[in-house]
Chains A and B, each alone.
Chain A
Amino acid sequence: MKLSFVRRLNWMLTGVVSVLMLVSLAVQTTHFNSLFRPLIEPELARKAEVVGAYVVAQIDRAIDLGIAVDKLVGMDELLADTLAANPDVKYIGLEIGGRLTAYAGVDGARSGERLTAEAAPEADRPSFIDTVLPLESDGVTVARLHVGMGAGFVQSALNEVVYDLGSVLIVAILLNVEILLLVVGSSVAAPLRRVSAVIRRVGEGHLGVRVDLRNRDEVGELARAIDWALDSVRHRADLSGTEPVMAKIGMMQRVVELRFAIFIFSLAEELTRTFLSVYIKSLFEPVPGLTMEMVIGAPIALFMLLWAVSQPIAGSVSERRGRRAVFLAGALMSFAGLVGSGLATDLVQLIAARCLTAIGYASVFISAQGFVIDATDPKQRAQAVAMYAGGILSAGVCGPAIGGVIAGQLGFRTTFLISAGLALLAAFMAWRVLPRVQVPKERLGRGLRFADAMLCLRNPRFVGLAVFSAVPAKLGLTALLFFLLPLALDDQGVSQSWIGRVLLLYWLLMIFVSPMAAKLSDRSGQRAAFLVAGGLLAAAAAYVLSLPGSLATALGGVATLGIAHALLNAPQLAMLADVCEKERAALGETTVIGMFRLIERLGSVVAPFLAGLFLAHYGYAGALRGIGIVLALCVAVQLVLGMAFRPPPADLPQRTPA
């Protein structure tokens, strides 16, 4: 379904909100400079004085003993000792007559024997705050002790705030979209579309239809006016007998509302993304015979495994028991699992809680997807599913960014509890939105059967696509982004906020590049080329991530991975339709896609173990590179399979080798 109204409104509002946020960002930043800097800087100078006074007292003693200030020995060591005890001091220098005779600290503050830090106190942005303490002998100042605090301390604190606000800006824009979709989509666009549909039916001569909206707003008024007009016309024309009820239109409204519930629910999962592996590590206890890296990989791997396994089961249960019941049960299970994760005191408890969460997630997503498919007719379905998936994607962007900030401020456990609250909120929304009665079933794909799987797996091109393109994509995502990178960055002392910003970049690129890649691959028809390019790019991303240089390389690598996966996303599905024509005919499209998705998830299951294994043996850089090599090998196998089993040209029967 097209929401042109929403789209226009969205652009306008987003534009306004962005401008306002940017203005407020700019105002805040200048205020930080004019308001907080004068407050912080004297505080730093006072600290410098305390540190300096300690050194001065020692030098004074030497002077009192009759040692001339230029005869002092071992001053460099004394200053280095003091510096080591006060890590926020950037330098300490002893200056006699303009010459530095002793110095400890950063190189940037001096040039040769001169202190450059104090040279330009009027400069716009001094990099150091220099505090001077005089040293006296018989009432005459014989030397001066300089203590430098980093002015960058203020600046970096300000930058953190600006970056946080920037993340919040992106999140706000996406939330804006979500809320617009919810409000306009369900209260304006969908009802208006129903009105148009009814009027069109009336134009076809069916006077018995009614709009039947209960909205208590202008659109509702319009609907009631039309119903009244129709009733009145019908009454005058004295037409009796009712037309068949137009179904499905109320359902579309609900799909829009469900998207918001799914967005909130996905947010619950994504909030914990930046620190999950770090949190697991903090609960680590040695298990005999297993390395630490393998053990901390276990909760993530088990989570992915249970998710993959319970998804088809929950899907078939939801077909029998109703989407609503399974969604609610899943959301409540996730709630309990997230609370449990937040309160876990050891790894076993955490694993149990994560397993519960995994089953909950699988139930929620499969039943929501089932509902969207039920509620739409085949023509609308692709768009409806895309819209529903959009909610999950924007949660992917918002979650780590917000989660990083929350985790940094309130701690890991509190963030889990907030996630649990979101899961509960999603359950409440679904309880309001999803219909109590089971929707009459259309033709649905059969449940997955072993024989179906064998049929698909006998097709080497399907195997090439699923096992060597889709699996490595999931493997790369889970191993690199969900497991190794948060651990590696945390190990390097990168803040949770920054880890959140890094992960955000991936989803942002997915959102923006995916549609472009889809268009390009459709236009060119070179799907295999896209898959190879995406696969190689993902391997390259792993290599970039393994390079030293923490934040810059992390951003570069994650951006590369985002583009790589954006290239894979649409072409994979399109390719699936091409390679599985026979299977689609035999099993139905839904089953083939379900099979594909199930196999794909194996990548997520294997990823933590593989990454843990590499990590234990080769360290962070080695593990990242190792994953890159695995990804590159998969591309190679995929290429070989693609070459070996070329689709037979349509007009020429395949010749058997002589």
Chain B
Amino acid sequence: MSLSRRSVLAGASGAVLASVSPGFAQSIKPIAAGKTARILVLTPRKDVGDVLGFRDFIGSSGLAATVDVREVPQASALTGMLPEIRAAKPDLVVTVFTPLTLAAVGRYDDPDPSRYLTDIPVVFTSVTDPVASRIVRGLDRTGRAVTGTRHIAPVAVQLKTMLSYRRWKKIAALYNPGEDNMVVAVRDLKEEAQRQGVEVLDSALPRDAAGAPNPAAIPDLIADAARAGADLVYIGPDTLVASNNNALVAEQALAQKLATFCSTELPIRRANLLMGLVSPAVNVGRFAGLKAVEILSGAKPADGIAVETLNRFSLLLRIGAAKRLDLYPPMRLLNIAEIVQDA
């Protein structure tokens, strides 16, 4: 992937999908004559971009389908909902983010029909690393009726983007060690950073007495990182840190005069983070919609569709944060970035 001009970044992924959908509108036949497909979407929140993009794509695809969206804020609650989901007899289930996907389908090498959905095709969206999380066997051959889309740029590209802002010496990776995908992501970041001669400070959330990772420690972790000489705080596709505590991370980092980078869209859109290299969630959701249509129309079997990522990413910069840090983006980056304005 390369960073090209902003217009390309912002437009391309959407444009690709938009040009694909009319073709399907003609070729699609409902699963059975007179029958509309029933799609059940499981998501932590109804308003995430993935869901909007998915609905939008299904709506414009010409497929006769109903989309039922259910909020499941805690992934652990999903197992209890399984009988209810099965009773609804959906033709396809869509899961948003890694925890909910893992809770819905389990690991590919441990399929347990009593605890997971095994008889319904599942399309996931915005899953960081489905192979490392053992949701699928491989990206091209998933090994089960589960496929979907990823939303994270390769770690080398993320690091390159960070370093093209400034030549940072030390990066603090702030993450929840309880999320497998984050453990993998931080390991990859460390390897890549070592190649580039950059030090990565491991700022994993400590666990509380009950063994659960404790987000209340975020201010202390950031203060420690600042004392240890870090220049930038990295947050990955982390539900606890990036999705649920982005405002806390942003304000603490600004207070410590630390730059921030995130690899998902929501945190930088919501909080005062400095920059992010992201796949816009709406586009990732649309891409998942395309895969759902392929399955429901019978064009391809669910286990024959590769897990893919969009190959263009948007660089988001928040000028307000740059001003507060007095750390302005270089012109080259400014030229290709989408600027996020303070609310």
Contacts and interface: CB of A to CB of B under 8 A. Distances in A.
Nearest to B320: A66
A72 B339 contact: no
B319 A77 contact: no
Given A61-B334, A65-B339, A73 B319 contact: no
B332 A78 contact: yes
A74 interface: yes
A67 interface: yes
Contact of A77 (B322, B326, B332, B339): B332
Interface string B317-341: 0010011001011111111000100
B323 A62 contact: no
A73 B339 contact: no
Nearest to A57: B335
B162 to A, nearest CB: 15
Chain A at the B interface: SS class = helix
Contacts of A59: 331
Contact of A67 (B319, B332, B333, B335): B319
Contact of B335 (A58, A66, A71, A73): A58
User: Which interface class (under 10, 10 to 19, 20 to 34, 35 or more) fits A?
Assistant: 10 to 19
Contacts, number: 40
Interface string A120-143: 000000000000000000000000
A78 B331 contact: yes
A65 B331 CA distance: 12
Contacts of B331: 58-59, 62, 72-75, 77-78
A81 interface: yes
Given A58-B335, A65-B339, A73 B329 contact: yes
Contacts of B319: 65-67
Contacts of B335: 58, 61, 78
A81 B330 CA distance: 13
Nearest to A65: B319
A71 B333 CA distance: 15
Nearest to B335: A58
Between B326, B329, B334, B335, the greatest number of chain A beta carbons within 10 A of the residue's beta carbon is seen for B334
Contacts of A61: 334-335
Contact of B332 (A65, A66, A71, A81): A81
Contacts of B322: 67
A456 to B, nearest CB: 73
Contacts of A77: 330-332
Interface in B118-132: none
A71 B319 CA distance: 12
Contacts of A73: 328-331
A66 B317 CA distance: 13
A83 to B, nearest CB: 14
Interface in B266-315: none
A65 to B, nearest CB: 5
Nearest to B334: A62
Contact of B328 (A72, A78, A81): A72
B323 A74 contact: no
Contacts of B330: 73-74, 77-78
A72 to B, nearest CB: 6
Interface in A39-97: 58-59, 61-62, 65-67, 71-75, 77-78, 81
A61 B329 CA distance: 13
Nearest to A58: B335
Interface string A26-50: 0000000000000000000000000
Interface in B229-265: none
B168 to A, nearest CB: 14
B3 to A, nearest CB: 13
A81 B335 CA distance: 12
A77 B331 CA distance: 8
Contacts of A66: 319, 323
A76 to B, nearest CB: 9
Contacts of A71: 326, 328
B160 to A, nearest CB: 15
B29 to A, nearest CB: 49
A205 to B, nearest CB: 104
B258 to A, nearest CB: 18
A78 B331 CA distance: 6
A478 B323 CA distance: 70
Contacts of B332: 74, 77-78, 81
A61 B319 CA distance: 12
A104 to B, nearest CB: 12
A598 B145 CA distance: 88
Nearest to A67: B328
Nearest to A74: B330
Contacts of B328: 67, 71-73
A447 to B, nearest CB: 75
Interface in A495-526: none
Nearest to B319: A65
Nearest to A102: B331
B166 to A, nearest CB: 8
Between B322, B328, B339, the greatest number of chain A beta carbons within 10 A of the residue's beta carbon is seen for B328
B289 to A, nearest CB: 34
B101 to A, nearest CB: 38
A621 B239 CA distance: 65
Interface in A236-251: none
Contacts of A62: 331, 334
A521 to B, nearest CB: 70
Interface in B30-73: none
A73 B319 CA distance: 13
Contacts of B326: 71
Nearest to B333: A74
A483 to B, nearest CB: 45
Between B326, B330, B331, B332, the greatest number of chain A beta carbons within 10 A of the residue's beta carbon is seen for B331
B181 to A, nearest CB: 33
A509 to B, nearest CB: 55
Contacts of A75: 331
Contacts of A58: 331, 334-335
Contacts of A74: 329-334
Contacts of B339: 65
Between A58, A72, A73, the greatest number of chain B beta carbons within 10 A of the residue's beta carbon is seen for A73
A284 B52 CA distance: 61
A61 B337 CA distance: 12
Interface in B155-186: none
Contacts of B333: 74
Nearest to B165: A73
Contacts of A67: 319, 322-323, 328
Given A59-B331, A72-B328, 4 more contacts: A58-B331, A65-B319, A74-B332, A78-B332
14 contacts: A58-B335, A65-B319, A65-B334, A66-B323, A67-B319, A67-B323, A71-B328, A72-B331, A73-B331, A74-B331, A74-B333, A74-B334, A77-B332, A78-B335
Please give me the 3 A-B residue pairs with the lowest Cβ-Cβ distance, nearest first: A74-B330, A78-B331, A74-B331
Interface of A: 58-59, 61-62, 65-67, 71-75, 77-78, 81
